[in-house]
């Protein structure tokens, strides 16, 4: 009987593109029976905190907190240059400064998203001095909320990165660009986490999962028009050009394999998160599974 694997990924285009081969069973599934769920990134993070999945996409913010319980697979991550979240404002010309009569309301796309982590790292002084109040909101509701005057600022991710200018909003800062300038490293956004328990109990299964994911990414890269059909089913934005723009930005060589540059970027994120007090100092750094694995 095939081994059942609970696999959860996000509905964003880079994930549905990368996992098209697995979702539609277009590649060798390595005798694995994937039970797939497609969820919002914060739902994925919450599920990992409650140990609901064998394998799941997660924000690297969540991965940093869960580094003693999970490992990152080499394939399936989203990181790179020019991929970061944007800090948007309800109107152009706004800035987070000390002259406001009340705290600014800032919308973020989930407590444990990397977008929230970056805002907390870069705007720590404004948070500590109560110049801003962070509120969490579903990523697809942030830009409409800014348009409706429900908040002053919002951290925008996914397809909205490409469409905010059409909404009459302002851009205060590209948080990814700031990360790159500070660290000279690509920005790690999210990756595929596997439970440490599965790594310890069934290393051969983990190797098969890694092979299937890498094969699925390569299949989609070779058959983008076919993968686009799967992407359309789940996207918030239905414009094909925007969907493929998303893939071109977030699916790259580091998605196929993190390599040393990707691993170094994860170590940098762990250190910055600890320095900002977001992650406990006693928590180990984010680590990537090294193959071949040996059973304990």
Q: Which two tokens stand for residue 38?
A: 């497609």
Using alpha carbons, list the distances in angstroms from residue 3 to 6, 28, 202.
10, 14, 11
CA torsion sign for 215, 73, 245, 166 is positive
Phi/psi for 20 (5° steps) reads -55, -45
Going across the sheet that includes 132-136, the strands are 132-136, 104-108, 153-156, 86-89, 170-174
* Distance in angstroms (rounded) separating the CA atoms of residues 243 and 248: 9
Element (H, E) at 204: helix 203-222
- Half-sphere exposure for 239 (CA within 13 Å, toward CB): 8
Provide the H-helix boundaries in 78-164.
Answer: 114-122, 124-128, 139-147, 160-163
14 Cα distance to chain centroid: 10
Contacts of 61 (CB under 8 A, 6+ apart): 45, 112, 113, 114, 116, 117, 273, 278
> Catalytic amino acids?
158
């Amino acid at each position: 009987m095939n081994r059942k694997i609970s696999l959860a990924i996000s509905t964003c285009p880079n994930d549905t593109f990368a996992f098209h081969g697995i979702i539609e069973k277009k590649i060798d599934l390595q005798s694995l029976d994937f039970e797939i769920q497609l969820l919002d990134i914060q739902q994925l993070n919450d599920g990992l905190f409650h140990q609901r999945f064998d394998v799941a996409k997660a924000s690297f913010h969540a991965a940093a907190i869960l580094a003693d319980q999970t490992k990152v697979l080499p394939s399936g991550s989203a990181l790179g240059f020019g991929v970061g979240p944007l800090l948007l404002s309800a109107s152009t010309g706004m800035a987070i400064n000390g002259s406001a009569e009340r705290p600014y309301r800032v919308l973020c796309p989930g407590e444990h998203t990397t977008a929230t982590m970056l805002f907390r790292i870069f705007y720590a002084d404004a948070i500590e001095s109560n110049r801003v109040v962070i509120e969490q909101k579903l990523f697809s509701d942030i830009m409409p909320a800014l348009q409706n005057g429900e908040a002053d600022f919002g951290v925008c991710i996914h397809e909205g990165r490409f469409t905010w200018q059409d909404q009459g909003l302002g851009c205060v800062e590209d948080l990814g660009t700031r990360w790159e300038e500070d660290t000279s490293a690509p920005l790690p956004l999210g990756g595929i986490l596997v439970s440490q328990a599965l790594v310890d109990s069934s290393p051969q299964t983990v190797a098969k999962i890694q092979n299937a994911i890498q094969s699925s990414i390569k299949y989609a890269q070779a058959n983008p028009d076919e993968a686009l059909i799967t992407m359309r089913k789940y996207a918030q934005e239905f414009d094909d050009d925007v969907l493929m723009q998303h893939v071109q930005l977030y699916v790259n060589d580091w998605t196929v394999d993190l390599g040393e540059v990707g691993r170094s970027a994860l170590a940098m994120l762990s250190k910055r998160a600890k320095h900002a007090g977001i992650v406990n100092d006693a928590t180990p750094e984010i680590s990537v599974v090294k193959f071949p694995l040996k059973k304990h």
